[in-house]
Each structure stands twice: as C-alpha cells, then as structure tokens.
Amino acid sequence: MDECQPWEDVANILFRQLRSIPRELRDLIYEYALLEPDDIIVPNKQKPALFGVCQQVRHEATPIYYAINTFRAFIFDDGQTCLIPFQWIRALEDNEAKAVTKLAIEFGISDATKKQFEAHLARFKITVTPLANNNFADPAAMTRAVDTLEAGLQACFNVDVLNSINAEMRTVQRAGKFDLAKLSFEVEEGGKRYGQANRMFKTILDQCLGAVIAGKRVTISQ
C-alpha cells in the first residue's frame, strides 16, 4: 500500500476488506475493538470512532457496543445528579437503549447531607450508664443513641430525591425502549458511618425498582 495514499482511500480499502469477511467474524472484530476495560461513565457524549466509518458498520456495531460494556452513573441525594442516568437513557436511540445489558447506578450521600449530619453530631451527646460490673454500658441506652443518630441522618436526607428517581423509573418503563431489569443500584461505601445509610437507601431504591417493574406505584414519605 502506498504510504502517501490518502487516508480516505485507505479507509475505503479496509472497509471493503472488512465487508468481505463473514458477519460472525466481523462481530468478533467489533467486540475486540469496542470492549472497554472499565465501566463507561454516563453521560458519555462521545461515541466510538468506529461508528463513523459508515452506516453499515454503525448499524452492525452499535448493539454489540451497548451489549458488551457496563455503563455506570453516579448519583447523590440531590436534585442535580439523580436524573443523569435517566436523561442518558432518553437521549439514546431506540436500538441503542434496547441493546444495553447493564446500567449500574451508584448511589452515595451528598457532601451537603454529610455536612448537615456532622452539625447534628456536634450537638449530640451520649451518656454512658455503667452496670454493676463496670464493664459494659447500658445496652438499651446505646440502642437509643444509635436510633437517634440514624434518625438524624434520615432527617438530613432529601426524601424528594427518592421520589424523583422513582418517577423517572416509571417514565422509562412507560416509554418501553429500555428494560429496567438491566438496571441495578449499587452504593458508595462511604466508610463505617455513611456506608450503612447508603445500603439502607439502596434497599429502598431496589424496592422501588421492583415495584415499577411489577407495574406498581410507590410513594415515599418521611
């Protein structure tokens, strides 16, 4: 091949060679070219360069790209991020959305909520009542203390975010171009203090997702 040959001519030659290969082998080539080593963070506005080769390659490669990769969105308990994954789904073409096999939505408590809770902790006092052997604190008193802490964190959390996510899932379900069974919620560990709260809210989101898939309506109140 002439080194000075224009790239457009080279691309045309390579595409003609690719088109001469059986479809099964082309699909293997697409998989090799399109599989990302890490999760793809959404929204990702830039699509693979391979899609720009020609309409046929884009048509053949698109479902493979969305099927073999895991897409991940990060959301927090605020109104700014919780809609990101659902806006991304709506922006996809129908064939793209239908091809997605895994969308992981990772939930974490926002910095704003953490600051509010830290302020709550600063006002919180624990009184330890020793027992006769002087080795253990009163279990009932400690249980009340933990309950108060959890209540303080829940009070700082914006429950409207859960309802917004729930509403977005219902909208996606009604649109019918994305299978909500391909969606999963995960949690940011957040250390010992917030990890437990994150898992608690994940449980709520999982229940909401299951209800939406089953065609049920859920309203969350505090």
What percentage of residues in the chain have a pLDDT greater than 70? 73
7: confidence class by pLDDT, cuts 50, 70, 90? very low
Question: Please, are residues 194 and 121 in contact by the beta-carbon 8 Å criterion?
Answer: no
pLDDT tens profile 160-216 = 888 888 899 999 999 999 999 999 999 876 556 677 778 888 888 898 899 999 988
Mean pLDDT of all residues in 89-103 = 94
pLDDT tens profile 42-71 = 988 788 888 887 788 888 999 999 999 999
Q: What is the pLDDT of residue 26?
A: 87
Q: How far apart are CA 211 and CA 202, in angstroms?
A: 14
Sequence letter at residue 138 = D
Helix (H, G, I), strand (E, B) or coil at 185: strand
Chain-wide mean pLDDT for the chain?
79
